[in-house]
Amino acid sequence: MPPILRGLDLSLRAGERVAIVGPIGAGKSTVLRMIARFADPSGGRILLDGHDIRDGTQESLRRQIGVVFQDGMLLDDTIRENIRLGKSGATDSEVERCRRSSACTI
């Protein structure tokens, strides 16, 4: 598969909110998947406060960002595991409480 993104250089200030928009196939979802570490870049790096995000854990990184995808993103797994996307170490009782809640916070 050919590279989707080339030469992307994006700098954001703390607390800044950003929308990434563009046509289908432009790389919007790829950027977000790499920021959330659902995928790693094949070249280059992603820095957060000057640190390569691959040096930390996915869980600690995902606690610091919020992402709303255009299309729903679900794992080919159980509802329980899809809820755990927000907090990989969530206990069964936390997942159940979240499932029953209209305002899931994990």
Give per-residue pLDDT as tens, 55-99.
988 888 877 776 665 566 666 778 788 788 777 788 999 888 887
Q: What is the pLDDT of residue 18?
A: 80
Q: Are 41 and 69 in contact (CB under 8 A)?
A: no
Residue 102: its pLDDT value, please? 58
What is the domain partition of the chain in residue ranges? Answer: 1-73, 74-106
pLDDT at 21 over 70: yes
Maximal CA-CA distance, the chain: 44
Task: Tell me what pLDDT residue 2 has.
Answer: 65
Whether 37 shows a pLDDT value over 80: the answer reads yes
Beta bridge partners of 48: 51
Structure confidence at residue 60 (pLDDT) = 82
- Residue 68: predicted pLDDT: 62
Looking only at the bridges linking them, the beta strands covering 47-48 and 51-52 are antiparallel
pLDDT of residue 23: 85
Give me the pLDDT at residue 61, please. 81
Rg (CA), the chain: 15
